[in-house]
């Protein structure tokens, strides 16, 4: 990339404390990102703990492969979306595992890269985790109808001004760079003096979620993850916005027998360990602003 990027993992201490309870064991990191969580899990499960790491981003797999090379055969890396977790895990014999982590945040490498996850620089409107995927953010921005674009921004970005933003985007099309889109949104809705969050933030979130079908992938992976856990194995999920957290919360409740219509004890597969989601400490929030919105939920396989 040509720039020195420092990736600060979120809730690292909490993840290791709740996920790794003994030396050895088998673990899965479904979103290996910068590799910090994986490295900490491998260190905590030494000398024989094994970890399977997945990421849809081929650049992340290559980067983490270099970083975790000292762990040798204790680490297995696969470039794939975690929606295919069961197939990948079975192919590499990671069955009846001790712990699974899903960190749903972007890595600093992705934010600093050239695929348009951030509007801090002028780069193409891409936003694909997997660069082999066909649909990019620019396709949605330039081809969706005004109504469809407004619906997408409202649904995935929870943006109340979605209609005004969609109208401005359609009038300004074609748009192919992140800075162009961010400027159009800022002009459409304005920016108050001292406003901390850029007015384009929610729209960029919505486009990224739609491009990568992130919520669909999350809904697909959760039952697969539970099925791969051994009794006593734990599933930890870090979410960064309410749409993700809501899916995890209600999935956990359903699997723990707290959902509607569950009256058969044989259907209960999880015990919720975090009654309320864990959040970053004051110190971590000060050190790493991106941790402010992070929520960690943990459940244990019965």
User: What is the percent of the chain where pLDDT is above 90?
Assistant: 83
Q: With CA atoms as reference, report the closest residue to 243 among 269, 208, 199, 272.
A: 208
pLDDT of residue 51: 98
Q: In what order do the strands lie in the sheet with 75-79?
A: 75-79, 50-55, 26-29, 97-103, 229-239, 295-301, 270-272
b/e 215-244 (16+ beta carbons within 10 angstroms → b):
bebbebbbebbbebbeeebbbbbbbbbebb
Label residue 191 by pLDDT band (50, 70, 90): confident
Q: Give the model confidence (pLDDT) of 35-65 as tens digits.
A: 999 999 999 999 999 999 999 999 999 999 9
pLDDT of 2 > 50? The answer is: no
d(CA 295, CA 120): 25
Residues with Cβ < 8 Å from 69, sequence gap 6 or more? Answer: none
Q: Give the model confidence (pLDDT) of 233-266 as tens digits.
A: 999 999 999 999 999 999 999 999 986 555 555 5
Q: Give the model confidence (pLDDT) of 66-97 as tens digits.
A: 999 999 999 999 999 999 999 999 999 999 99
In the chain, the domains with their CATH numbers are: 12-109+214-301 (3.40.50.150), 118-212 (1.10.150.170)
Q: Give the model confidence (pLDDT) of 89-141 as tens digits.
A: 999 999 999 999 999 987 666 665 667 788 777 899 999 999 899 999 999 99
With contact defined as beta carbons under 8 Å apart, do 29 and 82 qualify? no
pLDDT of 224 > 80? The answer is: yes
pLDDT of 5 > 60? The answer is: no
């Amino acid at each position: 990339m040509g720039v020195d990027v420092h990736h600060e993992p979120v809730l690292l201490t909490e993840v290791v404390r709740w996920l790794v309870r003994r030396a050895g064991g088998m673990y899965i990191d479904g979103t290996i990102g910068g590799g910090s969580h994986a490295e900490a899990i491998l260190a905590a499960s030494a000398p024989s703990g094994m970890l399977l790491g997945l990421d849809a981003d081929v650049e992340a797999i290559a980067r983490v492969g270099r970083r975790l090379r000292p762990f040798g055969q204790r680490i297995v890396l696969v470039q794939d979306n975690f929606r295919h977790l069961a197939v990948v895990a079975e192919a590499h014999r990671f069955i009846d595992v001790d712990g699974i982590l899903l960190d749903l945040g972007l890595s600093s490498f992705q934010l600093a890269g050239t695929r348009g996850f951030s509007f801090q620089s002028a780069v193409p409107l891409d936003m694909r985790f997997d660069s082999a995927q066909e649909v990019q953010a620019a396709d949605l921005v330039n081809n969706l109808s005004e109504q469809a674009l407004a619906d997408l921004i409202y649904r995935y970005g929870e943006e109340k001004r979605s209609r005004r933003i969609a109208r401005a985007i359609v009038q300004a099309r074609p748009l192919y760079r992140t800075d162009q889109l961010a400027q159009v949104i800022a002009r459409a809705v304005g920016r108050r003096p001292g406003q901390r969050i850029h007015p384009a933030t929610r729209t960029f979130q919505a486009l990224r979620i739609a491009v990568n079908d992130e919520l669909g992938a999350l809904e697909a992976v959760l039952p697969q993850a539970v099925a791969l856990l051994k009794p006593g194995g734990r599933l930890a999920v870090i979410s960064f916005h309410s749409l993700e957290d809501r899916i995890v919360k209600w999935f956990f409740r359903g699997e723990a027998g707290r959902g509607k219509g569950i009256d058969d004890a044989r259907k209960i597969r999880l015990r919720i360990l975090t009654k309320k989601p864990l959040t970053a400490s004051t110190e971590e929030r000060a050190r790493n602003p991106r941790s402010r919105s992070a929520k960690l939920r943990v459940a244990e396989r019965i």
